[in-house]
Chains A and B, each alone.
Chain A
Amino acid sequence: MRKTAMVLAWLAGLCILGIGIWLLVSQPSIEKDWLGVWVEEMEIGSPFDMSGAATITGIIALAIGGLTIIGALLIPTRFVVAGVMIVALDMLACLGVAMSPDPKWGVIVWAIPGLLMAFVGFLLGMELERVQEPEGVAELE
């Protein structure tokens, strides 16, 4: 199970690096006021513009991709840490997609790496159940 998780994490990491490079190179148009509008809608601040959104999200994607690959490398030795890290990154990215100006496109772009990372989390959870000795017997009511 750990090997499968590692392969999936590698695939996810490479996929995210690919997304990051695509964002940096092709510079897709992203509304520059979207974050400011979101902040205003959530009543947590004033509207503002964010120029260079494609560059910023591209750099963030490269960082998430890099961390995912570090997580994949950690799986053989410290899979709990790796699992928490990979799924937490997935959650962060999902939050980013939820906040994005066009979540539909965000879902399409993130679907494959997001699912792969989720599978890593579920697989490592089941792996922990398999290897972790329970302490005592449950007292059933």
Chain B
Amino acid sequence: MTNGSTAAVGLKRVKMRMITAVAVMFTLTCSGSFGMEDIIGSSGPGLTLLMLLVLPFFWALPMALTSAELGSALPEEGGFYRWVRRGMGEFWGFQAGWWWQLSLYVDTAVYVALTLDYVAGWFDMPGWVRWLIGFVIILIFAYVNIRGIDITGWVLTVIQVIVIVPFVTLVILGFAKAQVNPFSPFIAEGESFWGAMGLGLAVAMWMYSGYESMSQLAGEIERPQYVIPRALLINMGLVIAFYVLTTAAGYAAVGDWSNWNTEGTSTSIDFIEAGRVVGGGAVAGLLIAALIAGNLGLFTGYLATGSRPAYVLSKDKLFFRWFGKEHPKYGTPYRSILFMALLNSVLILGSFQFLIVIDVFLLMFAYMTILTAMVVLRVKEPDLDRRFRIPLPTWALALWFVPFFGIAIVALVTNGWAYFVGGCVGVLSGPVAYLLFKSKYHGVELPDTLTVSRDAAGALPLPAPAAEEV
């Protein structure tokens, strides 16, 4: 799997099996159903399942298919940053990359912090020991990332096995010991349909996010225009099935919908408690392992993708040049990875809930820019070689994206006015950063055609995937 070649600018391309690519995608978009408990308790079990089945068509699928189409047409390191740049110009490309990167810089640390909180719950440890464990975890996974996307993919595959096996066990035992109809009650008592939906929507959106992430790695995978779109589509179905089955089975076995939440009180029911009910301590223990592994997987996956915008922006002379250096041996953007890891090491020191809510705001703006670029590119470059094309005309595509924009805008105001204005501060940092970096480094021109670079990278022609990679 590691038999890679070094491309012109120093990044190493590696062969990635489809199963590894799906494992990476699964990490970035799911990594377990933990968190779903809050939707059951606030919206009601029936509506939760309905949302899990319907929301993807308006929220996850537009982004997944956009990433598949543009990833097949413009398979470049930096992914959506380069797509937006090509469609809407350097300024908007920078904004998309900047907003997304800023949100991940904050967000990624949360996964390590959550892991540490679980560990700290079992062992009484002083604060510095907690931080030291977190620091070591971050260093280990930063090293894995620096070694290359192939090693990272392998680690994430192992992690996802640890995540999936307990949930599959829960699904089998849960349905076998079902006590209640998983759709009943449909809506949380005392709530209207829209009120109940509003309560769970933000969490459901979060659960169905991340489909744009893997595009960041396109420059480090051989034949990305083949691997990434297929991994996206396989993963999409996998994630929907995973969420629906685990939620339905867990709730059907335990019932008591109003006590489903992640608050950890004596009456709280979560997936670990559901595992204990259906399979005893062994299944609960496996689910605890899945929870920790899932968080570490999310950290590793988002350290991989979240570190790339800084590297590509630096390469495009729109960010500090220091970030644009590849590791001489492993061909990875090691400085970007190290910087993000060190920043996360600082962030795990405290609670940064305010910053985390701001990052939702930044992601929404990045998402809306990506989908806008998709429509713009359809209009501006109708003849672009799209190996995968969403089977919709451009007008229908634009119409399909309207609910996505509506949901994103609703998400901007769900956390209250203070967070709304705080989020605006994050978004406004984009134009300021562009004005500063562009005037200092000047930026570079994108070549008119991508054919030459794609051939030089050895990524084309398509199709004809090697049999063992599928």
Binding site for B on A (CB under 8 A): 80, 83-84, 87-88, 90-91, 94-95, 97-99, 103-104, 106-107, 110, 114, 118, 121-122, 124-126, 128-129, 132-141
Contact = CB atoms under 8 A, between A and B. Distances in A.
B11 interface: yes
A134 B457 contact: no
A99 to B, nearest CB: 8
A104 B421 CA distance: 10
From DSSP, what is the main secondary structure of chain B's interface residues? helix
Given A125-B435, A129-B91, A138 B417 contact: no
A98 B418 contact: yes
B445 A138 contact: yes
A10 B388 CA distance: 48
Interface string B393-435: 0000000000000000000000011111110110111011011
Interface string B431-446: 1101110110111111
B121 to A, nearest CB: 22
Contact of B435 (A91, A110, A128, A133): A128
In the A-B complex, the 9 residue pairs with the smallest Cβ-Cβ separation, listed nearest first, are: A141-B219, A121-B431, A103-B417, A141-B77, A140-B453, A98-B421, A103-B418, A139-B9, A129-B91
Given A107-B420, A107-B421, A91 B442 contact: no
A132 B438 contact: yes
A98 B357 CA distance: 13
Given A129-B89, A138-B447, 9 more contacts: A83-B431, A84-B435, A118-B431, A121-B431, A125-B91, A134-B444, A134-B445, A135-B444, A141-B218
B76 A106 contact: no
A90 B424 CA distance: 9
Among B11, B90, B446, max chain A CB count under 10 A is at B90
A88 B432 contact: yes
Contact of B417 (A90, A104, A118): A104
22 contacts: A80-B435, A94-B421, A94-B422, A94-B424, A95-B421, A97-B421, A98-B419, A98-B422, A103-B416, A103-B420, A118-B424, A128-B434, A128-B435, A129-B443, A132-B443, A133-B442, A135-B441, A138-B316, A140-B76, A140-B447, A141-B7, A141-B457
Contacts of B441: 135
Contacts of A80: 435, 439
A106 B444 contact: no
Contacts of B95: 125
A68 to B, nearest CB: 14
Contacts of A91: 425, 428-429, 432
Interface string B222-265: 00000000000000000000000000000000000000000000
Contacts of A137: 444-447
Interface in B58-83: 76-77, 82
Nearest to B427: A118
A121 B98 CA distance: 15
Contacts of B443: 129, 132, 134-135
A103 B446 contact: no
B421 A87 contact: no
Nearest to A95: B425
B450 interface: yes
A87 B418 contact: no
A106 B419 CA distance: 12
B434 A103 contact: no
B386 interface: no
Contacts of B147: none
B76 A83 contact: no
Contacts of A140: 76-77, 82, 446-447, 450, 453-454
B431 A122 contact: yes
A85 to B, nearest CB: 10
A88 B218 CA distance: 35
B315 A138 contact: yes
